[in-house]
Amino acid sequence: MKRDKHISEAVIRRLPRYYRHLDNLHYDGITRISSQKLADVLGCTASQIRQDLSCFGEFGQQGYGYNVSRLRAEIASILGMDRGRHCVVVGMGNLGRALVRNFPFSANGFILDAGFDLIEDQEGKNTFGLPVYPAEDLERHLARLKPDVAVLVTPRSVASQMANRLVTAGIKGIWNFTNIELNIDEPEKVILENVHFSDSLLSLSYRITAEELKK
């Protein structure tokens, strides 16, 4: 597959949304869609989709539109969803447990192998079928499991310290739910993805306010 050298951050942000909508279309049994119809579903223009996808090759066909399942599979592959990546959850508080229980890791191409918690004496304990180990044994288990990604859901006070242990242990990416900017000693060694719930609430707040001001 073609892959342009520099893909803009904006394109990277749009690809998962494209995938999500194509996945819905696929499960609704839709096999083919015109570029205009797809643009309507995605809330953008047909030319933007064409331009975004052109970074990765040729998709769709003049006069035919897009083959839904093929485009879905292509985008999944672009996103690395077919690489059988492994991950672990670090922090088994309410949010950690909610993710283990409800987040569809496998539908997103990830195999969840273990959880870690600060509370001692958890060896062998299971949470929703997931083995949970004490954080003090993190390095030993990571050497064995070799996960690509750590989902970081610890208390803020230990977040940066835990992140640095994960980087030293060879983790490639940290999915950071702790709502703090992590202080990483060797930032070039890891890719960070921060989840900012507040950005989402504030854009809702904006839209409610804009609606009120219209009246």
- Give the binding site for its own copies (CB under 8 A): 3, 7, 9, 12-13, 15-17, 19-20, 24, 43, 78-81, 83, 85, 93-95, 97-99, 101-104, 107-110, 148-149, 172-173, 175, 179, 181, 191, 193, 195-211, 213
In Å, what is the CA distance from 151 to each residue of 56, 75, 83, 103, 154? 28, 23, 18, 12, 9
Q: CB-wise, 81 or 145, nearer to its own copies?
A: 81
When the beta carbons of 61 and 126 are compared against its own copies, the nearer one is 126
Q: Give rounded-to-5 percent helix, strand, coil for the chain.
A: 50, 20, 35
Closer by beta carbon to its own copies, 10 or else 63? 10
Which one, 64 or 80, has the nearer CB to its own copies?
A: 80
CA dist., res. 32 & res. 92, Å (int): 42
What angle is formed at CA 206 by the lines to CA 200 and CA 209, rounded to 5 degrees? 145
DSSP 133: E
Tokens representing 150 are 């750590």
Shortest distance, position 10 Cβ to its own copies, whole Å: 8
The number of angstroms, rounded, from the C-alpha of 124 to the middle of its chain's C-alpha atoms is 28
> Of 107 and 124, which CB lies nearer to its own copies in the complex structure?
107
| Region of 43 on the Ramachandran plot (φ > 0 left; ψ -120 to 50 alpha; else beta) | left
| Tokens, residue 143 | 């050497």
Nearer residue to its own copies within complex by CB, 62 or 198 = 198
Which residues fall within 8 angstroms of residue 89, CB to CB, at 6 or more apart? 96, 99, 100, 112, 114, 115, 116, 130, 150, 151, 153
Taking the complex as a whole, how short is the minimal distance between the CB of residue 196 and its own copies, in angstroms?
A: 7
Angle ∠(17,18,21) on CA atoms, nearest 5: 85
